[in-house]
């Protein structure tokens, strides 16, 4: 039996009134598996939101998540679903659009080339069976440090939704949903006036072309992720106003950058009617921290001669994480991004911070995987299941959102 359409399920859950939904960045296979186990245990719809840095066509380098493209991603998720025996999952594109891969933005690709690549990536999303696509033209390397003009965002959003709909119909694929945003999600608050203007204009343009309205419209609620902390502050008043504005336009408010929020902030999401929230780096960081804990246990086992040789995971993971340079967009202080490898390595506090920020980016590296395998074998000699510890640690992090968003049994309730 086919799953209910994503937009229909979202409407059903919204009508429950006492639930907010969680969308998860698929930072690794362990994160995916942990989320499947949580969704099965708590009976809530599992929503994965993959950025183009995480999952994309192999001709453009694939993604840092296992090197998967869209088809690998979907096939592996289906395999895990079968193993867990849970099938109410939805696969979505997060931040699809021009210059949404770091390499494209750093290379300052011209607009025509960036749009062509975005369209090719969207086509693969649709063919692979993604349920929702975020159309996001809010990055532009040629206006670095400035807000991308609203007209540009509107023009490209409509152009890309029209492209995706034409592709979907040509391929004979059932209806998909869309997510849009007025601005790059880099902190601060979206003004209700700007949000209203964007949604009004977008709706008018889409209606003229007989194109579907998006299901989600991203609005900034004050949240901002930096390093491994929540550097922003959730603003209840602004979030509630944005949500009411979204409903007026028959869409739902979507929040990004909700990682590391405390319970008090998360519990406010339901009364503020923040219906959908993205979380990604937090779960990757939890996995990395889990490996660091296990490395410390390995040190104890070696000291007491329970094992004869340690893995070199900590050192290799640290070196690889620093060299990715992907941590640069997350660091709080601008000057840190200009420091050399050697300077960072000599600063234990800074290098540890960067490891926790960027460790998950290199989990697919062959040398890292080899050391993880050695680590797990060593722990097994002391009857410690390292892999299970990692998965359970991630589950504990996910559980905070499940409980604060009242997701328990939301799937069953939405279907009744």
* Beta bridge pairs of residue 396: none
Task: Provide the pLDDT for residue 412.
Answer: 95
Residues 283 and 25: beta-carbon distance below 8 Å: yes
Tell me what percent of the residues of the chain surpass a pLDDT of 70.
Answer: 99
Task: Provide the pLDDT for residue 142.
Answer: 87
Task: Tell whether the model's pLDDT for residue 193 goes beyond 70.
Answer: yes
3-class secondary-structure state, position 68:
coil
Residue 152 or residue 185, greater confidence: 152
Task: Provide the pLDDT for residue 2.
Answer: 64
Q: How many CB atoms are closer than 10 A to CB 400?
A: 16
Mean pLDDT, residues 325-345 taken together: 87
Residues 243 and 221: beta-carbon distance below 8 Å: no
Query: According to DSSP H, which parts of 249-385 are helical?
Result: 263-267, 269-272, 281-303, 313-324, 341-346, 348-358, 366-380
- Burial environment of residue 412 by CB neighbours within 10 A (0 to 12, 13 to 18, 19 or more): exposed
Q: How sure is the predictor about 144, in pLDDT bands with cuts at 50, 70 and 90?
A: low
- What mean pLDDT value characterizes the chain? 95
Residues 336 and 414: beta-carbon distance below 8 Å: no
Tell me what percent of the residues of the chain surpass a pLDDT of 90.
Answer: 91
Q: How sure is the predictor about 146, in pLDDT bands with cuts at 50, 70 and 90?
A: low
Phi and psi torsions of 369, nearest 5°: -60, -35
Q: How sure is the predictor about 104, in pLDDT bands with cuts at 50, 70 and 90?
A: very high
Widest CA span in the chain: 73
Start-to-end CA distance of the chain, whole Å, equals 17
Task: Tell whether the model's pLDDT for residue 321 goes beyond 70.
Answer: yes
| Distance of alpha carbon 172 from alpha carbon 332, whole angstroms | 46
191: left (phi over 0), alpha (psi -120 to 50) or beta: beta
- Whole-model pTM? 0.96
Q: How is residue 41 written in tokens?
A: 């245990």
Mean pLDDT, residues 184-202 taken together: 90
Q: 46-82: per-residue pLDDT in tens?
A: 999 999 999 999 999 999 999 999 999 999 999 999 9
What DSSP string describes 126-146? HHHT-SEEEE-----GGGTTS
Task: Provide the pLDDT for residue 196.
Answer: 96
Task: Provide the pLDDT for residue 189.
Answer: 85
As a residue count, the chain comes to 416
**For residue 180, how many C-alpha atoms fall within 13 Å in the half-sphere facing its CB?**
26
Task: Provide the pLDDT for residue 337.
Answer: 82
Residues 272 and 243: beta-carbon distance below 8 Å: yes
Mean pLDDT, residues 397-413 taken together: 98
Task: Provide the pLDDT for residue 1.
Answer: 44
Q: 17-30: per-residue pLDDT in tens?
A: 999 999 999 999 99
Q: How sure is the predictor about 188, in pLDDT bands with cuts at 50, 70 and 90?
A: confident
| Distance of alpha carbon 51 from alpha carbon 220, whole angstroms | 18
| Distance of alpha carbon 343 from alpha carbon 416, whole angstroms | 59
Task: Provide the pLDDT for residue 333.
Answer: 78
Residues 391 and 30: beta-carbon distance below 8 Å: yes
**Token pair 């890292």 is at which residue?**
368
Phi and psi torsions of 276, nearest 5°: -140, 135
Q: Rounded to 5 degrees, what angle do the CA atoms 359, 364, 366 make? A: 110
- Burial environment of residue 193 by CB neighbours within 10 A (0 to 12, 13 to 18, 19 or more): exposed
């Amino acid at each position: 039996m086919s799953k209910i359409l994503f937009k229909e399920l979202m409407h059903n859950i919204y009508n429950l009134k006492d639930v907010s939904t969680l969308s998860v960045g698929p930072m690794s296979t362990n994160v995916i598996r942990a989320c499947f186990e949580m969704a099965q245990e708590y009976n809530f719809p599992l929503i994965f939101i993959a950025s183009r840095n995480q999952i994309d066509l192999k001709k453009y380098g694939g993604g840092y998540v296992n090197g998967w493209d869209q088809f690998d991603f979907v096939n592996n998720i289906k395999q895990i679903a079968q193993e867990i025996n849970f099938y109410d999952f939805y696969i979505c594109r997060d931040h699809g659009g021009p210059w949404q891969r770091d390499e494209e933005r750093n290379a300052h690709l011209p607009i025509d080339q960036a749009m062509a690549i975005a369209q090719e990536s969207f086509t693969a999303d649709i063919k692979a069976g993604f349920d929702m696509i975020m159309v996001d033209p809010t990055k532009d390397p040629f206006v670095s440090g400035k807000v991308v003009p609203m007209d540009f965002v509107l023009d490209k959003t409509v152009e890309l939704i029209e492209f995706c709909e034409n592709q979907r119909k040509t391929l004979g694929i059932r209806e998909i949903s869309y997510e849009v945003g007025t601005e790059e999600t880099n902190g601060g608050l979206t003004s209700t006036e700007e949000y209203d203007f964007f949604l009004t204009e977008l709706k008018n343009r889409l209606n003229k072309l007989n194109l579907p309205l998006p299901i989600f419209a991203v609005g900034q609620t004050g949240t901002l992720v930096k390093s491994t902390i929540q550097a922003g502050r959730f603003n209840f008043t602004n979030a509630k106003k944005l949500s009411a504005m979204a409903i007026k336009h028959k869409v739902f408010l979507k929040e990004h950058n909700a990682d590391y929020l405390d319970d008090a902030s998360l519990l406010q999401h339901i009364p503020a009617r923040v219906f959908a929230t993205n979380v990604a780096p937090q779960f990757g960081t939890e996995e990395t921290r889990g490996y660091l804990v296990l490395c410390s246990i390995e040190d104890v086992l070696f000291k007491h001669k329970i094992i004869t040789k340690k893995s070199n995971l900590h050192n290799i993971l640290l070196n690889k994480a620093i060299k990715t340079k992907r941590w640069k967009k997350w660091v709080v202080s601008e000057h840190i991004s200009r420091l050399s490898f050697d300077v960072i390595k000599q600063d234990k506090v800074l290098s540890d911070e960067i490891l926790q920020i960027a460790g998950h980016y290199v989990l697919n590296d062959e040398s890292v995987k080899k050391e993880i395998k050695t680590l797990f074998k060593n722990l097994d000699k002391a009857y410690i299941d390292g892999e299970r510890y990692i998965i359970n640690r991630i589950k504990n992090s996910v559980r905070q959102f499940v409980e604060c968003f009242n997701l328990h049994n939301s799937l069953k309730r939405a279907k009744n």
